[in-house]
Structure 1
Amino acid sequence: MALQRYLLKRSHEAGEKLRPLLFRSFSSIAAPALHPFDYAPNAYNAPTLPSFDYSPKAYKGPLGDEILQKRKKYLGPSMFHFYQKPLNIVEGKMQYLFDENGRRYLDAFAGIVTVSCGHCHPEVVNAIVEQSKLLQHATTIYLHHAIADFAEALASKMPGNLKVVYFVNSGSEANDLAMLMARLYSGNLGMISLRNGYHGGSSGTLGLTALSTWKYSIPEGEIHHVMNPDPYRGVFGSDATSYAKDLQDHIDFGTSGKVAGFIAETIQGVGGAVELAPGYLKLVYDIVRKAGGVCIADEVQSGFGRTGSHYWGFETQGVLPDIVTMAKGIGNGLPLGAVVTTPEIAKVLAEKIQFNTFGGNPVCSAGGLAVLRVLDKEKRQAHCADVGLHLIERLRALQQKHDIIGNVRGRGLMVGVEFVTDKKEKTPAKAETTVLFEKLRELGVLIGKGGLHGNVFRIKPPMCFTKDDADFVVDAMDYAMSKL
């Protein structure tokens, strides 16, 4: 029934006729090797992309093979890429991306939710271009209206007394600054974060991160990782009280009863779109504050209405943090991040000089303010709720059809689909996930992959993603899984 939503003829978009007939099921990131698919995409039953009235510009730059060789030679060897044959993406428009051949792909990952409004949204682009013509950089030792206007608009989106804004260049910087604030304000050193969490790539934030694929074996100092309150894989299921007790034990026996702060994503991103056990943050925030610490909400991936039900992810747990960090979607692709806290906590940074050369520069501030305006104007939070509900309902119907889908979870347009080889044992379907990941690219869907075992599809598209786009993603998954 799902496949009947689409035309039976094959799309003749520029470049799509070049799609290969076979592909290998290997991933560039360590993954088990399987045999290639033993069939070619069938022009008469494979789903096709929804129509989109836009033609990409002719690309005249270097091709992917040349870029890959140059990248291997001159860029750090830790830099990885998706897909056995990496894509050379040369243009973007709203929820779509185009490769060097002009082939169109549906972006269901949004550059890890960096793109909120849509690729090259005209209002955001115009704000950036117009400001760039006037002044690209002026440090905060001089006055400029852009940073003040942006801070005012962002503070207006925050609940309670979260009214003081610090602008930085990334989520890693934001979480580093939040950790500094927590330690200075509390007078303690011990930080607590969740296993399976991710908080950045700097030396300090890698310490907060518990995912072994990201951590280096060097001492990070006074950082404790507690049980992840994962309703699907967690040892206590959805029992928030038992997870909270584990955190209390860490404070009692690991930090001598005192702690600087607790940080958590309210929906884990890299960890596989894991929503925390209901009521967990309320219990934990109370425990942390009694131990002298502050509570930090990492909204780098879950903020700005992406969950649909709320503007901020922490609101889904009914809590009010002391510090909120954000990045990615705040700038729709710009290198921009922010920390928002209370005036009381902000005073501790006034004891010394706190300065960021590029944080809140005129161009990023103009772009960030345009993002907030577009999200309001286009009612993107309500849109995420509507389209997200449709997407999750269709995915759960697909779960009933395919045993390989162990769990569908998330809110709005922050969704995870976890694949298993045994539903009862929840055995991660690592190899099969890699096959499906490659196959979706062949069908025209770019999706995220993550989770502790690399067996979760992370669906986090630009917020202009439509129900037709959602149907295409689900139908493409259905088609690929039917061929496994």
Structure 2
Amino acid sequence: MLRALPASSRVILRNVRCIGTVSATMPPCDYQPPPYKGMSYDEMKEVRKKNLSPALATNFSKPLLIHEGHMQWLFDETGRRYLDLFGGIVTVSVGHCHPKVNEAAKEQLDKLWHTTNIYMHPKIHEFAERITETLPGDLKVVYFVNSGSEANELAMMMARLYTGSFDIVTLRNAYHGASPYSIGLTAHGTWKFGFANGFGIHNASNPDPYRGLWGGHRDCVVQSVRASESTVEGGECSSAQKYVDQLEEVLSYSIPRGRLAAFFAEPIQGVGGTVQFPLGYLKKAFEKARSYGGLCVADEVQSGFGRTGDHFWGFEGHDVIPDIVTMAKSIGNGFPLAAVVTTPAIAATMSKALHFNTFGGNPISSAVGISVLDVIKEDKTQENCQVLGPYFLNKLAEIRDKYPIVGDVRGKGLMLGMELVEDKETRQPISPQRMMEVWDGIRDLGVLMGRGGHYGQVLRIKPPMCITKEDVDFAIAVVQQVLDRVCDK
């Protein structure tokens, strides 16, 4: 028997159409926000137009006004409830306004807001010890900053200082930030501005099992339709070496011999559309980079903190230990917080001059970070990713096999993607108009997903790690309803 749903859910259900044999019923929620009393939707649009940067793009054809969140749910100004499968761009890790994290922030708020690190305060030391305990090897020294872009810029500086070299290699389709220096690491034209950037940074071919030159097998319960173009032996995909050979060409032709500063890679590309590398690629790439004198940097801004399920850090799934790890987003569950972790030897180079970050390791942010680590363990969010990820992905695979506009589904844990195409044979990306119809349609039925990929053709599914099987089933039913409608046209 169906349970009675809160009013916010009933708003959603009035808009749900049953197409074919699929019907979407939003799971119940025991939280009901108070009525919204802030600025009106139209007033807010006007302020946004006049007083906020025009670069602040919004998702969907008609922007949402979100005023409250609870765990995996978001509420708009009308009280309508949405299942959040994007987590504020892969940032809300343990749940919107998680009570334990809220309490940690409030408790610290009443004790000490800010001193900077000219004095010692307890929380930064407690957090530094806790965060380094999660990392393997000699990754024991942490620098706290405020964003992923800032973390990657600091990693660039560390690598150049330590090696005495300047050149850095990243992968095409990578996203490492949009600040003046990190935008050079980013190899994705959508995020590039027309000013001088990327001096000394080179891009290697992207080892993409779906769109790359040689296909490949990936660490995923669902393989690309191009997996047959390669073989797997000893846990390594044959295409991995081909992509590494291309990386070596970049190193050989573009880098002073033996003078690489760093190789940057995301364990799973986030903004680029949840791209996973062929089995064995990253390990071989790290070995190749080190043979040219470079440090290896793992950008865990989106893939860290248990999101991939099998491991706490995405790089662990590749059987590698980086020299530097950058992290942000999930570390603070939405609070402005990021970090760079490295070895004592590399960190020592930073003592050659003063280096200071006014808000890095702030008492409140450190208290939040400690609480997030506690909740990940107590709520077993990593285990939830490990269980729900394959279930979700297999359901998405059924959708891929059924609908002509779904070319690929991929990912690990709760870092998933669904790539839409016009033609499965040519892999031609779906048109922007049809993509928007799908994206808006899913939103209209109460599910929020992100969008990424080089052509904006990938639905990004990276929810708070507290979602349930019932949430997954609801989301799958919604996606099918929308695809039924779009494909029938």
TM-score (normalizing by structure 2): 0.91
Partner letter of residue 48 of structure 1?
T
SS in 2 for 1:54: coil
Alignment partner, residue 7 of structure 2: 13
The residue matched to 1:136 in structure 2 has which SS?
A: coil
Alignment of 1:225 with 2:238, yes or no, is no
Map 1:78-477 to 2 at 5 A.
Answer: 78-220=55-197, 221-238=199-216, 239-257=239-257, 258-430=259-431, 431-477=433-479
Residue 20 of structure 1 and its aligned partner are, at CA, apart by: 9.3
Partners of 1:195 and 1:45 in 2: how far apart? 39
Check whether the contact 2:6–2:32 (CA below 8 A) recurs between aligned residues: no
Q: Deviation per CA, 1:81-132, whole angstroms, max 9, x where unpaired?
A: 0112111000000000000000000000000111000000000000001101
Taking the aligned partners of 1:237 and 1:292, their CA distance within structure 2 comes to: 29
Structure 2: distance between partners of 1:346 and 1:141: 19
1:184-219 per-residue CA deviation (whole Å, 9 max, x = no partner) reads: 001000011011010111111000001101011222
What is the rounded CA distance, in whole Å, between the counterparts of 1:411 and 1:397 in structure 2?
Answer: 17
- 1:240, CA displacement in angstroms? 1.1
Letter in 2 for 1:256: P
Structure 2 unmatched ranges of 5 or more: 217-238
Relative to structure 1, the CA distance from residue 100 to residue 15 in structure 2 (aligned partners, 3 Å threshold; closer, same or farther) is farther
Instruction: From the superposition, tell whether residues 12 and 353 of structure 1 become closer, same or farther in structure 2 (CA, over 3 Å).
Output: closer
CA distance in 2, matches of 1:309, 1:383: 10
Query: Given the superposition, is the C-alpha separation of residues 136 and 248 from structure 1 closer, same or farther in structure 2, using an over 3 Å criterion?
Result: same
Structure 1 stretch 335-344 or stretch 40-49: which is displaced more?
40-49
Give secondary structure in 1 for the equivalent of 2:191. Answer: coil
Q: How many residue pairs were aligned?
A: 460
Return the alpha-carbon distance in structure 1 between the equivalents of residues 180 and 69 of structure 2.
Answer: 32
Contact 2:85 2:462 in 1 (8 A): yes
1:71 equivalenced with 2:48 (yes/no): yes
Distance 2:335 2:6 in 1: 34
Q: Offset of 1:429 from its aligned partner? A: 1.1
Deviation at 1:263, TM superposition (A): 0.4
Distance in structure 1 (CA, Å) of the matches to 2:310 and 2:389: 10
Task: Specify every segment of 5 or more residues in structure 1 that has no aligned partner in the other structure, as ranges.
Answer: 1-5, 22-39
Give the direction of change, closer, same or farther, for the CA distance of 1:18–1:324 in structure 2 (3 Å limit): closer
Contact 1:15/1:102 (CA < 8 Å) preserved in 2? no
Cα shift readout 1:37-73 (whole Å, capped 9, x = no counterpart): xxx8459964121011111111111122211110110
Cα distance in 1, alignment partners of residues 434 and 472 from structure 2: 22
> Structure 1 residues 299-308 or 274-283, which shifts more?
274-283
Task: Pick which of 79-88 and 154-163 moved more.
Answer: 79-88
Q: One-letter code of the match for 1:400?
A: D
Aligned partners of 2:113, 2:60: CA distance in 1, in Å?
36
The C-alpha deviation readout for 1:289-340, integer Å capped at 9, x for no partner, is 1111100000000000000011111111111100000000000011000000
Give the direction of change, closer, same or farther, for the CA distance of 1:389–1:426 in structure 2 (3 Å limit): same
**Deviation (angstroms), 1:15:** 7.9
The secondary structure found in structure 2 opposite 1:117 is: coil
Distance (whole Å) between structure 1 residues aligned to residue 339 and residue 190 of structure 2: 26
- Aligned partners of 2:22 and 2:480 also within 8 Å: no
Whether the 8 Å CA contact 1:11–1:48 is kept in 2: the answer is no
Quick one: distance in 1 between partners of 2:394 and 2:18? 27
Larger displacement relative to structure 2 (217-226 or 302-311): 217-226
Distance 2:367 2:183 in 1: 30
* Local SS of the residue matching 1:396: helix
- Check conservation: 2:143, 2:340, Cα contact below 8 A: yes
DSSP 3-state at the match of 1:392: helix
Instruction: Give me the whole-angstrom Cα distance separating, in 2, the residues matched to 1:409 and 1:17.
Output: 32
Q: 1:201 & 1:156 partners in 2: Cα distance?
A: 30
Measure how far apart 1:355 and its partner are.
0.8
Quote the Cα distance in structure 2 between the aligned partners of 1:129 and 1:315: 34
1:242 Cα shift? 1.2
Q: In structure 2, what residue type is equivalent to 1:453?
A: Y
Three-state SS of the structure 2 residue aligned to 1:275 is: coil
Structure 1: which amino acid aligns with 2:212? G
Spell out, residue by residue over 1:387-437, the C-alpha distance to the aligned partner (whole angstroms, 9 max, x if none): 111101111112222121110100000000001121111111133221110
Distance 1:421 1:326 in 2: 35
SS in 2 for 1:260: strand
Q: What letter matches 1:54 in structure 2?
A: Y
Aligned counterparts of 2:22 and 2:404: Cα–Cα separation in 1: 22
Residue in 1 that maps onto 2:228: none
Question: What is the TM-score when the length of structure 1 is the normalising length?
Answer: 0.92
CA distance in 1, matches of 2:330, 2:210: 27
User: What is the CA–CA distance in structure 1 between the aligned matches of 2:45 and 2:14, rounded to whole Å?
Assistant: 19
Deviation at 1:282, TM superposition (A): 1.1
Amino acid at match of 2:209: P
Deviation at 1:271, TM superposition (A): 0.4
For 1:154 and 1:308, the matched residues in 2 are separated by: 18
d(CA) in 2 for partners of 1:434, 1:277: 30
Q: Does the CA contact (< 8 Å) of 2:5 and 2:28 recur in 1?
A: no
The structure-2 alpha-carbon separation of the partners of 1:17 and 1:376, relative to structure 1 and needing over 3 Å to count, comes to: closer
Deviation at 1:278, TM superposition (A): 1.3
User: Percent same amino acid at aligned positions?
Assistant: 49
Letter in 1 for 2:79: G
CA displacement at 1:276 relative to structure 2 = 1.4
